[in-house]
Amino acid sequence: MRENYIQYADGYQKDDIDEKDILQAISDIQIMDEEHGAFWVSVITDDENVIEVNKDLSLVVIFGVEQTNYQAKDWNEVTELYKLLLAKKFEVILDRVV
């Protein structure tokens, strides 16, 4: 079973990712058109835990059945949140986005 994956709005998907894949996705999203300007990362535990980011830095955080919308300040903050997601620090993420 895969532990995590990344998927772009245009259909690209990769399993078992690391920080390098997220940094590449952040670079890619900045040159995508608006229609495809999003990607999400999922970390699977007992539930699926997802952060989706759009080109405008708006995020949707879905942990289990709970969904939170958040507006990131910059791409550095997005990078930090994804690092926390890969480290499975869900409570720290929630403290920052709620």
Q: Are strands 4-8 and 48-54 parallel, antiparallel or unpaired?
A: unpaired
Q: What is the pLDDT of residues 19-30, one digit of tens each?
A: 999 999 999 998
Q: How high is the pLDDT of residue 61? A: 98
Integer CA distances (angstroms), 7 to 26, 57, 92, 95, in order: 12, 17, 23, 25
End-to-end CA distance of the chain: 30
Give residue 1's pLDDT. 58
Instruction: Dump pLDDT digits (tens) for 42-80.
Output: 999 999 999 999 999 999 999 999 999 999 999 999 999
pLDDT for the residue numbered 35: 73
